[in-house]
Structures are given as structure tokens and as C-alpha cells.
Amino acid sequence: MRLAQKRSERIGLWLVSAFMLILAASTIYPIFFTISTALKSTREFIRHGFSIPTAPTFEKFVTAWTTIKLDAYFMNSAIVTVIGVTLVLLVSSLAGYALAQMRFRFRKAIYFFLLSGLMIPVQVVMVPLFRIIVELGMLNSRVGLGILYGAFFSPFGIYLTSSYFASIPRELSEAAKVDGASYWQIYRLIMLPLARPVLITLGILTTLSCWNDVLLSLLVLQDDRTLMVGIASLRGEYGADIPLVAACVVIGAAPVIAIFLIFQKKILGGIMVGSVKG
Amino acid sequence: MRNERVVAYLFVLPALGLFLVFRFFPLVAGSVYAFTDWNGIADARWIGLANFRELIFDPVFRDTMRNTAWVILSLPIWVGLPLLLAVFIHLGVPGAPFFRAAYFFPIVLSSIIIGTMFSIIMRFDGSLNQLFILLGLEPVDWLGDQRFALISVVSVAIWAHFGMNVLIFLSGLSAVPPEIIDAARVDGANLWQVIFRIIIPMLRPIVEFVAVITMITVVTSMFGLIYIMTGGGPGTATYMPEFLIWLMQGESNRLGYAAAMSIVLFAFVGCIGVVQIRMMRREWE
């Protein structure tokens, strides 16, 4: 189909395109501006706030990494993200397999009960959750925060994995059972390899959720900080040193931007599947 | 097949355990706390509906609700802009692949990153005001002025989320049969008629769906932006429900009261959720 047939339509489309270009520039510009600011010294930023850095320097990155202890925060974020993602992958692949491929009482009820988790926002359970965190000795514990991520992000994972496992014919595991395989072996040797694509997507999306989280992290780690909370707290102490703040932002965003550029298709595909259910 | 049943329960158990302890139980406990004056230290005392009664007359809560209402009024922008963008990308406007990538990009950034970037840009001496001065306009205190703070935060929230909605609309558009568009063209419909009379009406269920999930997003995921950009201020100009709950339980130690607010928020989200399920069911039929 030729999109624009008449001259007036063609002009209209170019106008739309121009508007969309401005919009695209406005999504890219803040990131570009932040990176260029991070590469400036404080003095250069004050003198030439908007030009491209004339003498790019990594001085602010070094300060951010060492003086502000961003290295420790980065490590914290990496640890809680790894624990959270591992837990989500394990818990949702097990539950997704059972819910989609096995027959047992209350199967449907359990499925909908778990999915209702998608409808409970963190804020709503924040108050009692804090008490549970304290009682279970999870306060200020990175492992504890990782477990919380596992609890909060696995309902989406269960939805994703169970709808994937449901598309695998049950005859496959029946045949393996006849050959003497245990349920664990079927899960480990047949289901997990088959589910690889969906598990990769789930892993990436969960990585983004854990890495970007603020609310749970503020709740659990009160003495220590994750990277996002560390960046959020710059406002007070270092707020005046704009290039330094910008450098911290670049450090915090670099991993997710890298993930986006590498796995763009997987991320967008996963969000599309997830958005169908909400 | 008794064996299968036992194994199935074992496989579901970790998910169920995590869910019960960290999500379901807090939800139940929260609805009990809402009727107490618990402050986190002393024993909770049952005070009936007093928290809810206080809510009605609490000026801060009222301000928060007013802000929420204003933000919900901006819903047509949250939905309409992505809809039009998605349609034009789908139709292959010049530069479409580039726009696609550029619009999706902010989806992966956290609210802290986005909030910090825009705090720098929207500072009184930031680049936005420099641009204003360049254009001969009065500089505006975007985040510090009562009249502009909420608009500024909402604009940034739209910036952060619109790519997501474009994505959902694009997945809906892929289900629109191209033959229908071709047929309309053959019958002499112009481009704008095709867009507004054929494509957008066909997307109606998805428009409703996006409106609902965006509404939930608006009331439950602006915490990070508010926390970093305005801290709720100036005054109560940018208070949103979740921010207020966090404030009450963290800084004021009024956990019972915060739980009561949570119940109200959950009821609101629950109502939207029911509408959403209704819509999805209608789609199935």
C-alpha cells in the first residue's frame, strides 16, 4: 500500500514526521545532555553548560566511584539483583511447569490466587510488610531484599512461564514418565531447556525491575544503600556539583542501557506478552 | 496418580510460600492495622473507624486526592499521544524505525535516573530555562513553584511511560488486517479518514485497556519521581497517595493511619482492576 497518494497527504505526513522527530529528540536529549555534563569539570560546566565538552575528563566518574562509595552501592545492587533474578527464575519455572502441565486439586484456584499478586501494589502492603521484615531479621540484609524481589516479581514470572508451558504438549512428559523419568528429571532435563527463550526474557525483565527498584530497597536497607537509593540521596550532600551527579546517573543507567541495546527485541517482546494480561 | 499430586504441590510450594508471607499476609494484616492506632513501637489499640474518619477531614489527604484527580485528568495525553504515534509508526511514516527505537528507550530507565536527569534540566538555572531565556521568555521555577510543580512532574512521568503505551498500541495494530485499509483506500478514503474512521475505532478495546493500566500506573508508580524531583513539595503540591503512605509510615510513625490510606488506595486500584477484568472478559466473548 502506498501510504500517501495525494500531494496534500504527503506534506501532512512529512509534518507529522517532523513533529515525531522533535519528540524523539526530546527522549534522547536528556541522556545525551547528562553524559556530556558528566564528562565536564565543574568549572567547565558553569562556564559552558550546554556545549559539548571541550576537554572531556573522567574526574567526576572517579570521584563518584571512590569518594561517594558508588562502588559499594553498585556491588549491593548487583548482589540483590542476582539473588532476586535467580529466585524468580527458579520459583516461577517450578510453579509454571506444575500449574500448566500437572493435574491436581485447586490448580485453577492456586493459579488465580498467585496471579492476584499482579494487582497488589507494593505501597498497599508496605506497612505490615515492614513489620514482617523486622520479625524475620531481614532488616539491612541484602539476602532479605533479594528474597523480597523474588516474592514481588514472581507472579509476573508465573504468568509468563505457565502460559509458555501450557503450549508444550503433555504427551512429551507422559512419554518421559513411561521411560521412567522422575518429575524432577522431566523439569530439569526437558522443561527447563525447552523454556529457555521465555526464561531469558523473564530474566532480563526481572533484572531491570530489581536494578531499578527504590521502594523495597528503601524499606529493607536502612543502613546500607543500593545504587538507585545512593543516587537518590546525592541531592542533599552533593546536589550542587552537577557534573558529579550526572556521572553518578551515567553509572547507574549504563548497565540497563547496555541491556536494552543488546536485548531490545527480547525486552519489547516480553513487555508485549505481559501487557496483554496487565 | 497420587504421586503427581504430591509433586505438583511441592513444585508450587515455593511460589505459594513467598506469596503468602510477603504479599497476602501483609494485605490481610494491613486491613486489620487500619483500624488501630499502631505506631510501630507501642502495642496497637483498636480504634474502629477513627482513622478513616480522620482521613476525610485531613487537609493533606484531601490535597493528595486533588493532585491525583488532576493527574487523572491528564489521561487523554497519556493515551492519545502514544495512540497517534503508534498509528503513524505502523503506517510507516518517514523515519519510523528510528522513532520506534527512540521512543522505547526510556522504558528501561529507573524513576531515580529519570528524575535526577530532569532535576538537572528543570532547575531554575537549568537548560530548560536557558532555552526559555534564549526564546525571550520568562524563566520559570519548574519544580519550586506551586503552580508548575505538579505539571512538571506529570510531564516527566509521561515522558517516562509513553513508550510503553506506544508498544502496546503497536502490538494491537499488528492485528488490524491490512486488507481493510487497502479496501478503504481503493474506495477513495483519504489518509486521515483511514486513520480516524477505520484504524482508531478498530483499536477501541486496546485504547480502553491502555487507559485502565495507565490509570493504575498513575496512582501507584510515581513515587520515585516525586521522591527525587520535589519531595512532595512545594507544600503539598506534588503529594500522591503512595508518597503520603510512605511519609506516614516512615517519618511520622503513624502506621495504623498509613494502613488505612493503603486500604483506600487498594480499593481504588481494585475498582479499576474490576473494570479491567470486565473489559477483558467482554473481549473474550
- The Cα–Cα gap between B77 and B226 comes to 20
Q: For cell 553548560, what's the residue? A: A49
**Cα end-to-end span (Å), chain B:** 35
- The Cα–Cα gap between A116 and A263 comes to 29
- Chain A to chain B Cβ contacts (< 8 Å): 283
Q: Chain B residue closest to A263 (CA)?
A: B108
| Residue B49 lies inside a defined structural domain of this protein | no
User: By the 8 A CB rule, do A80 and A263 touch?
Assistant: no
User: By the 8 A CB rule, do A210 and A85 touch?
Assistant: yes
Interface test with A, best of B4, B5, B19 (most A CBs within 10 A): B19
**Cα end-to-end span (Å), chain A:** 33
3-state secondary structure of B127: helix
Cross-strand bridge partners of residue B36: B46
Contacts of A139 in chain B (CB under 8 A): none
Interface test with A, best of B2, B4, B11 (most A CBs within 10 A): B11
- Inter-chain CB proximity A267 and B107 less than 8 Å: yes
- The Cα–Cα gap between A84 and A206 comes to 8
Q: How many domains does the structure of chain B reveal?
A: 1
| Residue B194 lies inside a defined structural domain of this protein | yes
pLDDT at A278: 36
- Inter-chain CB proximity B103 and A114 less than 8 Å: no
Rounded (10°) CA dihedral A156, B163, B220, B68 = -160
Pick from A110, A214, A275: which is nearest to B12 by CB? Answer: A110
- Inter-chain CB proximity A278 and B209 less than 8 Å: yes
| Residue B106 lies inside a defined structural domain of this protein | yes
3-state secondary structure of B46: strand
Pick from B93, B104, B118: which is nearest to A17 by CB? Answer: B93
| Residue B38 lies inside a defined structural domain of this protein | no
Backbone phi and psi for residue A167, each to the nearest 5 degrees, phi listed first:
-85, -5
User: By the 8 A CB rule, do A213 and A202 touch?
Assistant: no
- The pLDDT tens digits for B50-105 are 888 888 888 889 999 899 889 988 989 999 999 999 999 988 888 888 898 889 88
Chain B touched by A27 (CB under 8 Å): yes
B141: left (phi over 0), alpha (psi -120 to 50) or beta: beta
Asked whether the CA dihedral A255, A258, A262, A268 is positive or negative, the reply is positive
pLDDT at A1: 44
Backbone phi and psi for residue A18, each to the nearest 5 degrees, phi listed first:
-65, -45
User: Would you say residue A152 has pLDDT above 60?
Assistant: yes
User: Would you say residue A235 has pLDDT above 50?
Assistant: yes
Contacts of A99 in chain B (CB under 8 A): 12
- Inter-chain CB proximity B18 and A264 less than 8 Å: no
The CATH number of residue B262's host domain is: 1.10.3720.10
ipTM (interface predicted TM)? 0.84
Span of A197-211, B2-16, B120-134 with lowest mean pLDDT: B120-134
| Residue B45 lies inside a defined structural domain of this protein | no
Backbone phi and psi for residue B36, each to the nearest 5 degrees, phi listed first:
-125, 175
Cross-strand bridge partners of residue B46: B36
User: By the 8 A CB rule, do B4 and A102 touch?
Assistant: yes
Asked whether the CA dihedral B221, B224, B227, B230 is positive or negative, the reply is negative
| DSSP H or E run through A145 | helix A142-165
- The Cα–Cα gap between A172 and A104 comes to 18
Q: For cell 565538552, what's the residue? A: A53
pLDDT at A146: 96
| DSSP H or E run through B117 | helix B111-122
Higher pLDDT, A120 or A128: A128
B212-230: b (≥16 Cβ within 10 Å) or e: bbbbbbbbbbbbbbbbbbb
Q: How far is it between the farthest Cα atoms of chain B?
A: 79
| Residue B21 lies inside a defined structural domain of this protein | no
pLDDT at B80: 93
- The Cα–Cα gap between B251 and B245 comes to 10
Chain B touched by A231 (CB under 8 Å): yes
**Confidence band of A59 (pLDDT split at 50, 70, 90):** confident
Distance from CA of A89 to the nearest CA of B (A): 11
Percent of chain B with pLDDT over 90: 16
Q: How many CB atoms lie within 10 A of CB B196?
A: 12
- The Cα–Cα gap between A255 and A234 comes to 20
Span of B125-134, B148-157, B270-279 with lowest mean pLDDT: B270-279
Q: Would you kindly state where each structural domain of chain A is located, as residue ranges?
A: 7-60, 72-232
Pick from A50, A151, A276: which is nearest to B22 by CB? Answer: A151
- The Cα–Cα gap between A235 and A238 comes to 6
Interface test with A, best of B33, B98, B105, B108 (most A CBs within 10 A): B108
Q: Chain B residue closest to A35 (CA)?
A: B117
Q: How many CB atoms lie within 10 A of CB A55?
A: 8
| Residue B14 lies inside a defined structural domain of this protein | no
User: By the 8 A CB rule, do B168 and B210 touch?
Assistant: yes
Span of A57-61, A114-118, A135-139, A196-200 with lowest mean pLDDT: A114-118
**Grid coordinates in use for B166?**
506506544
- The pLDDT tens digits for A166-188 are 888 888 888 988 888 888 999 99
Higher pLDDT, A14 or A51: A14
- The Cα–Cα gap between A60 and A40 comes to 8
**Grid coordinates in use for B203?**
483499536
Q: Chain A residue closest to B215 (CA)?
A: A278
B145: left (phi over 0), alpha (psi -120 to 50) or beta: beta
- Inter-chain CB proximity B108 and A267 less than 8 Å: yes
Segment A127-143 shows an average pLDDT of: 90
Contacts of B209 in chain A (CB under 8 A): 278
Chain B touched by A18 (CB under 8 Å): no
CATH level 3 topology of A72-232: MetI-like fold (1.10.3720)
pLDDT at A141: 93
- The Cα–Cα gap between A99 and A101 comes to 6
| Residue B51 lies inside a defined structural domain of this protein | no
- The pLDDT tens digits for B256-274 are 888 888 888 888 888 887 7
- The Cα–Cα gap between A205 and A267 comes to 7
- The Cα–Cα gap between A25 and A30 comes to 9
- Cis, peptide link before residue B234, omega less than 30° from 0: yes
